[in-house]
Structure formats: C-alpha cells, structure tokens
Amino acid sequence: MLVLLTKPLLAATPDPIAYDTLSHRIIIESLRAGSHDPGGTNDYLFKVEMIALLNTAEERNLEAAQKKKKSVALGSFGETKLLSLARWDKDEKNPEAKSLKVDGDKIRELVAQTMQELKVREDDIMVQVTINMFVKQKKHYVLTEEIPVGETTYYPIPPTKFDAPLRVNQKLTITDPKSAVVKFSVNYDTPASKPESEPNKKP
C-alpha cells in the first residue's frame, strides 16, 4: 500500500502595510446648498478627523462613546458660500480647488501612537476618516457659530471582518433634511491595481 504524506498548509503571512501608498485626496465634486440660513446665503465648511479604533469583536460591539480610540484633526477645507438650493460643481480645469490631502505618513504616525498608548498590535487597529459638514451662522451680530449639517466616513485601513482591500477610490455623499447634497471623491495617489490575468497557457 502506498501512503502519501502531506504537509499541513500554512496560512500566508500578509505583507505589512506600506503607509506611503495610503496617501490620498478628498475632493468635493459638487455641492448643492440646503436652506439653512434665514438670509438665504449659506456659508459652508468641512472639517476632517482621522480616528484609530481597535479592530476586535468586543470593541466593534460597543457604543461609539465607549470605544477605545485615538483621533487627530486633519484640518478644514471647502469653504463655500451659496444661495439656498443653488449648486456648485467642480471646475475640471482646477479639480483640486476644494480638496484636502491626507498623507500616508499621518496614518502611519496615528497607528504607531495608538499601538503605544493602547498596548495593541498593528493588525488590531483600523483607521476611519470622518468628513464633517458645518454651516456658519451669525450669533449676536458678531460671533459666528458652526452648526453641524452632516457627516460621512471611509476607512483607509478597513475593519478586517469585512476583508476590504486597501487603496480603493471611493464616492461619498452627505445629505440632510434641509436639502443639502454634497458629493465627494476619495482618490489614492497609488490606487490598488486590478489583479493581473493569468497568461494564456499553451495546450
């Protein structure tokens, strides 16, 4: 009797993240104003926050306020004044006029700091970016108040349970009950390439 001995299959070790490849840009593609300002002219701006969260089943099941996290502000962009229900569209000759660059080195730094502060492994961390929309309104004739309108999020480093690939360009939208609609694109400097097709085999 012939007995074949086989070695157990070993799980492939994933390559470490090359953070320099995660650099990307958030671009406002179009903005339709809502009816937010009583005077009819709406003054909008957008603020971006990056958040490192623990990517464990226990943490994912917690309420947002209870989750362990570390966040960093990435800045504001896209200040726009529009009449109520009017629309602004990206100028194709200057497509990055209302945009914000997210540097891969900032993502690397946030992950490294989170590993130190929360005493966790690199692969225990996911990174979320939140784009917050505000409308500025005068308060007491002098002061300006920033009132939240809406938000949208995406993941430069996604939760592993979804098994999502890195560096995938995306389209995002913010809407609100007062008819504001904002469309964004997230474009990576080096987007993930499609898998190469297997070369034709000779018969």
Q: Are 127 and 155 in contact (CB under 8 A)?
A: yes
Cα three-residue angle 194-200-203, rounded to 5 degrees:
155
Residue 99 sits in a domain whose CATH number is: 2.60.40.150
Question: Backbone phi, then psi, for 19, in 5-degree steps?
Answer: -65, -25
Residue type, 185: S
Q: What pLDDT does 159 receive?
A: 85
71 occurs within a structural domain: yes
Confidence (pTM)? 0.84
Residue 160 structural domain: 23-188
**Along the 203 residues of the chain, how does pLDDT read in single tens digits?**
555 555 555 555 668 899 999 999 999 999 999 999 999 999 999 999 999 999 888 887 888 788 899 999 999 999 999 999 999 999 999 999 999 999 999 999 999 999 999 999 999 999 999 999 999 988 766 788 999 999 999 999 998 755 567 899 999 999 999 999 999 999 999 887 544 334 343 33
**What local confidence, expressed as pLDDT, does residue 139 receive?**
76
Query: In this structure, is residue 200 part of a structural domain?
Result: no
Type of residue found at 61: N
Flag whether 141 is in a domain. Answer: yes
Residue 198 has what DSSP assignment? P
In this predicted structure, what is the pLDDT of residue 37?
93
Give the pLDDT of residue 75: 97
Q: What is the DSSP string of 132-174?
A: EEEEEEEETTTEEEEEEEEEEEEEEE--GGGTPPSS--EEEEE
pLDDT for the residue numbered 112: 97
Residues near 50 by beta carbon (within 8 Å), at least 6 away in sequence: 71, 72, 74, 102, 106, 107, 110, 127, 128, 129, 130, 156
Domain membership of residue 166 (yes or no) is yes
In a domain, 4, yes or no: no
